Amino acid sequence: MAERRVRVRFAPSPTGPLHIGGVRTALYNYLFARQHGGDFILRIEDTDSSRFVPGAEEYILESLRWLGLKFDEGVSFGGNFGPYRQSERREIYKTYVDQLLAEGKAYIAFDTPEELEQKRSEIENFQYDAKTRGSMRNSLTLSQPQVDGLIADGQQYVVRFKVEPGVPVVVNDLIRGEVRVMSDIIDDKVLWKSADELPTYHLANIVDDHLMEISHVIRGEEWLPSAPLHVLLYRAFGWEDTMPAFAHLSLLLKPEGKGKLSKRDGDRLGFPVFPLEWTDPKTDEVSSGFRESGYFPEAVVNFLALLGWNPGGEQEIFSLEELVKLFDVTKCQKSGARFDYQKGIWFNHEYILRKSNEEIADLFAPIVAGNGVDEPLSRVRVVVAMMKDRVNFVKELWPLCSFFFIPPAVYDEKTVRKRWKEDSAKVMGELAEVLEGIDDFSIEGQEPVVMKWVEEKGYKLGDVMNAFRLTLVGEGKGPGMFDISAFLGKEETIRRMKRAIDILQ
Ligand code: GLU
């Protein structure tokens, strides 16, 4: 048999913002498709109109665009297997539902929600299946004229899959191996509803995977319980030969390691669980996003790729291209992956270090300007070069670096108490004179001259440098003193020193 073309899909339902676990599912599908030179398809599963949330589809598209996960086909990308939005495929599903009905593999059921509720209260663990369907109101217990009459009367109904009992079902999962169950545990799932003339998730999912020639279904663990039903549906349609291979990814767990990661964990511990910021259209509640929190998309991709899979070895920093080469879906772990958000922060820091000073400066410059400072980009770059190894996010640079651009308005009380000694004003006055006499105000130009002077005077180097720092920075932080003074230049350095002497003495 000829090798099948690899075609995978990401099939989110637009029921809200894309959870970070969903992003990982999309990423693994992307890596798998690229690795095999296959197609990565975006299908929107919007047949449950009661759960539809406006803006969710746009959010999903924007998230994956931000992360650089490009689709080959699908909603907003086009392709030969469309439409790719399930709500636009009603007629297609109807044909397949009618086929199952005609072949006696599905039946019509009229039971109202109240009647079903009644049964559930009468029978413990009630399941609509081979054992119970004979006592329900459906096309198996009613005569054809009765059924036709009810439909003509406008009674709402559903179409249920007729699951034959006693049939072994095997799901071949690339991660979990063979999962075997007996068909008896599967209920007669609703495939279609007359009320909205729409299929349920199960039917639409199988029909579309078949028609879109999907070769591999890589999705979250929450869908594993549905997989045996899906296998039976493929059989019912006679599509077993082209049934996709399954890979059910493990859950993302809370940072503490127990239980499924939820939005509340993010709120509680202060980290995003969504790729982009999201405003709930009903409540206006805002949830933070990785993008708005200052993460680089490459860092998020790198972090997520290693949640539940790793290529072995020590290396942790991988580009998307490297991940495409190394990814192995069969090596994904079966057990849940702890969402270690501290590690996510670490990844962002690593990407700051790896990015050029130019790139970081381009991101930092608007923040500098936004604080009312008019400084050429070349100077912003110098500051970035000195300071970027100290931050995890670009936005952390400003509080750390503002003193380079704005002279201290106040002098930190604690530092003054500790570092501004009896003779500091006098010593700083002398130092200002020494600096005045230096022509080459670079680090290399200043350092030996100042060191020599400190030695000749018999001052304690630490005392001098601490007071010097206080005059230029206003507190005890910052990089090497001569880095600071060289950046500020002679004039500004001496101006700051004199001002500090005036105020502090
Ligand atoms: N629409 C389902 C979801 O929202 C897709 C599940 C699948 O990939 O089969 O996750």
In a domain, 346, yes or no: yes
Asked if residue 57 is part of any domain, the answer here is no
- Where in the sequence is the domain holding 399, given as residue range(s)? 355-404
Ligand 1 pocket test, pick from 205, 217, 221 with the greatest ligand atom count within 8 Å of Cβ, gives 205
Amino acid (one-letter) located at 53: V
pLDDT at 505: 83
Same domain, 194 and 228: yes
Phi, psi for 81 (deg, rounded to 5): -115, 15
> Count of domains in the chain?
4
| Span from the CA of 122 to the centroid of ligand 1 (angstroms) | 33
| 329 belongs to a structural domain | yes
> Has residue 2 got a pLDDT over 70?
no
Domain boundary among 351, 373, 393: 351
For residue 476, the model assigns a pLDDT of 95
- For residue 272, being part of any structural domain is answered with yes
Write out pLDDT tens, residues 188-225: 999 999 999 999 999 999 999 999 999 999 999 999 99
Residue 203 lies in a domain: yes
Task: Specify whether 418 is catalytic.
Answer: no
| Inside any domain, residue 453 | yes
CATH number of the domain to which 458 belongs: 1.10.10.350
Q: In which band, very low, low, confident or very high, does the pLDDT at 96 lie, cut at 50, 70 and 90?
A: very high
* pLDDT at residue 154 in the model: 96
pLDDT tops 60 at residue 1: no
Cα(12) to ligand 1 centroid in Å equals: 5
- Kindly report the number of other CB atoms within 10 A of residue 142's CB atom: 18
Q: What is the pLDDT of residues 348-361, one digit of tens each?
A: 999 999 999 999 99
- Give yes or no: residues 168 and 193 share one domain: yes
Has residue 158 been placed in a domain?
yes
Let me know: does 382 contact 443? Beta carbons within 8 Å.
no
- Our mutation pick for probing the ligand 1 site, out of 43, 45, 87, 251, counting the most ligand atoms within 8 A of Cβ, is 45
User: Cα dihedral angle (46, 50, 56, 61), rounded to 10 degrees?
Assistant: 0
- Give residue ranges with CB within 6 A of ligand 1: 11-13, 45, 205, 217, 219, 223
- pLDDT tens for 272-298 read 999 999 999 999 999 999 999 999 999
Q: Are residues 173 and 198 in the same domain?
A: yes
Question: Is 124 in the same domain as 234?
Answer: yes
Which phi and psi angles does 210 have, rounded to 5°?
Answer: -70, -55
pLDDT digits (tens, 9 = 90+) for 375-406: 999 999 999 999 999 999 999 999 999 999 99
Q: Kindly report the CATH number assigned to the domain that includes residue 331.
A: 1.10.1160.10
Nearest atom within ligand 1 for CA of residue 201: 1
| Residue that terminates a domain, selected from 351, 368, 384 | 351
Per-residue pLDDT tens digits for 305-342: 999 999 999 999 999 999 999 999 999 999 999 999 99
Confidence of residue 434 (pLDDT cuts 50, 70, 90): very high
My answer on whether 194 and 173 are in the same domain is yes
Asked if 218 and 345 sit in the same domain, the reply is no
Distances (CA, A) of 397 to 273, 385, 434: 24, 11, 32
Residues 245, 364 share a domain: no
> Looking at residue 50, what is its pLDDT?
87
Q: What is the mean pLDDT of the chain?
A: 96
pLDDT for the residue 98: 98
Which of 32, 201, 207 to probe ligand 1 with, by most ligand atoms within 8 A of CB? 201
Show the DSSP H helices in 103-175 as ranges: 113-122, 144-152
Question: Is 432:494 a contact under the CB 8 Å cutoff?
Answer: yes
For atom 10 of ligand 1, which residue has the closest CA? 12
Which residue in the list 119, 260, 263, 498 is annotated as catalytic? 263
CATH (domain of 137):
3.90.800.10
* CA geometry: angle 397, 497, 482, nearest 5 deg: 55
The number of helices, as runs of H, and strands, as runs of E, in the chain is: 19, 15
220 and 102 co-located in one domain: yes
Distance in Å, CA 153 to ligand 1 centroid? 35
Assigned domain for 35 exists: no
Nearest to 40 by CA among 16, 9, 13, 1: 9
pLDDT tens-place string over residues 123-167: 999 999 999 999 999 999 999 999 999 999 999 999 999 999 999
Does one domain contain both 93 and 239? Answer: yes
Cα atoms in the Cβ-side hemisphere of radius 13 Å centred on 373 = 19
**Where residue 388 sits, what CATH number does that domain have?**
1.10.8
Tell me if residue 292 falls in helix, strand or coil. Answer: coil
pLDDT score of 73: 98
Same domain, 220 and 202: yes
User: Which residues, including other chains, have CB under 8 Å from residue 264's CB and lie 6 or more apart?
Assistant: none
Which atom of ligand 1 is the closest one to the Cα of 13?
Answer: 4
Q: Is the pLDDT of residue 49 over 90?
A: no
Token pair of 282 as six digits: 């009903």
Nearest CA, atom 5, ligand 1: 11
**What phi-psi label fits residue 487: left (phi over 0), alpha (psi between -120 and 50 degrees) or beta?**
alpha
**309 and 237 belong to one structural domain:** no
Same domain, 142 and 215: yes
> How far does the centroid of ligand 1 lie from the alpha carbon of residue 359, in Å?
37
Nearest atom in ligand 1 to 218's CA? 8
* CA-proximal residue: ligand 1, atom 2 (nearest): 12
